[in-house]
């Protein structure tokens, strides 16, 4: 085994900042919907909007980083080993079966992760951002509708935004479980903190060669 830098500083910053903002947006979002009573409605709306603005800045930085470093290639979908990866998560992991794919600094994501993360980036996150912006710029104190956007009310926007939020929460719950499925229960977590992960030298060579 040899330690290899898998996650760069920005990669780790983006990951943890994104996680923190999603948790805070979920907390304030649930309070806006009346499910919680923590900050108070008015403050929850203010904090939610501030966190949403920070999230937009983070997304912009992440897009720039992905395309300038070539990290966007990590999300290119592939059918190779996809079925084996699904079977591994469904049954193989409980039988201590070997992992069907190899992780390297150049191929951090397995085929199933690529599909899920790609869907998040091109579908779920855009839906959340667009519906969130419509929420922010909906002139409810001054008008009964958004005349410039020809939208009569918030019902459809609210459904889309809430559905996206529940999808993100479901993803996080699954993600928290899957980080315990590395070489040890904490190896994946440590890797995202330090940036380094222990990989077999043969895997490093094969990954660099490809």
Is 47:24 a contact under the CB 8 Å cutoff? Answer: yes
- Give the pair of three-digit tokens for residue 166: 């529940």
Closest Cα partner for 106 from 178, 177, 4, 191?
4
Residue 209 has pLDDT above 90, yes or no: no
Q: Which one has a higher pLDDT value, 89 or 140?
A: 89
Residue 202 has pLDDT above 60, yes or no: no
- Give the pair of three-digit tokens for residue 156: 């459809």
Report pLDDT for 207: 38
pLDDT tens column, 9-41: 999 999 999 999 999 999 999 998 888 889 999
How far apart CA 114 and CA 129 sit, in angstroms, is: 21
Portion of the chain with pLDDT greater than 90, in percent: 47
Residue 140 has pLDDT above 80, yes or no: no
How far apart CA 82 and CA 47 sit, in angstroms, is: 40
pLDDT tens column, 174-190: 899 888 877 778 888 99
Average the pLDDT over each of 37-41, 52-56, 146-150 and give the range with the smallest value: 146-150
Q: How far from chain centre, in Å, is Cα 42?
A: 28
Cα–Cα distances (Å) from 202 to 26, 100, 143, 205, in that order, read 42, 15, 64, 5
Phi, psi of 69 (to 5 degrees): -100, -10
Report pLDDT for 61: 96
How far apart CA 83 and CA 149 sit, in angstroms, is: 44
In this prediction, residue 206 has a pLDDT band, given cuts at 50, 70 and 90, of very low
Tokens 């909906």 sit on residue: 138
In this prediction, residue 139 has a pLDDT band, given cuts at 50, 70 and 90, of low
Query: Mean pLDDT in the chain?
Result: 85
Average the pLDDT over each of 22-26, 82-86, 143-147, 171-175 and give the range with the smallest value: 143-147
Q: Which one has a higher pLDDT value, 191 or 210?
A: 191
Q: What is the CATH architecture assignment of 2-209?
A: Up-down Bundle (1.20)
């Amino acid at each position: 085994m040899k330690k290899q830098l898998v996650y760069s500083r920005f990669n780790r910053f983006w990951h943890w900042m994104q996680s923190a903002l999603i948790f805070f947006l979920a907390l304030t979002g649930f309070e806006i919907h009346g499910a919680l009573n923590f900050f108070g409605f008015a403050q929850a709306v203010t904090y939610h909007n501030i966190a949403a603005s920070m999230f937009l800045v983070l997304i912009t930085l992440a897009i720039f980083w992905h395309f300038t470093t070539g990290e966007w290639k990590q999300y290119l979908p592939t059918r190779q080993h996809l079925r084996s990866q699904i079977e591994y998560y469904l049954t193989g992991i409980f039988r201590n079966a070997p992992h069907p794919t190899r992780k390297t600094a150049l191929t951090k994501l397995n085929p199933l992760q690529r599909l899920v993360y790609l869907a998040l980036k091109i579908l779920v996150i855009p839906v959340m951002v667009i519906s969130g912006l419509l929420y922010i710029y909906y002139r409810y104190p001054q008008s009964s509708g958004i005349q410039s956007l020809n939208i009569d009310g918030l019902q459809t926007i609210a459904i889309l935004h809430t559905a996206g939020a529940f999808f993100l929460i479901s993803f996080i719950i699954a993600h928290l479980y899957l980080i315990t499925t590395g070489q040890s229960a904490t190896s994946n977590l440590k890797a995202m903190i330090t940036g380094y992960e222990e990989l077999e030298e043969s895997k490093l060579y094969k990954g660099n060669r490809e």
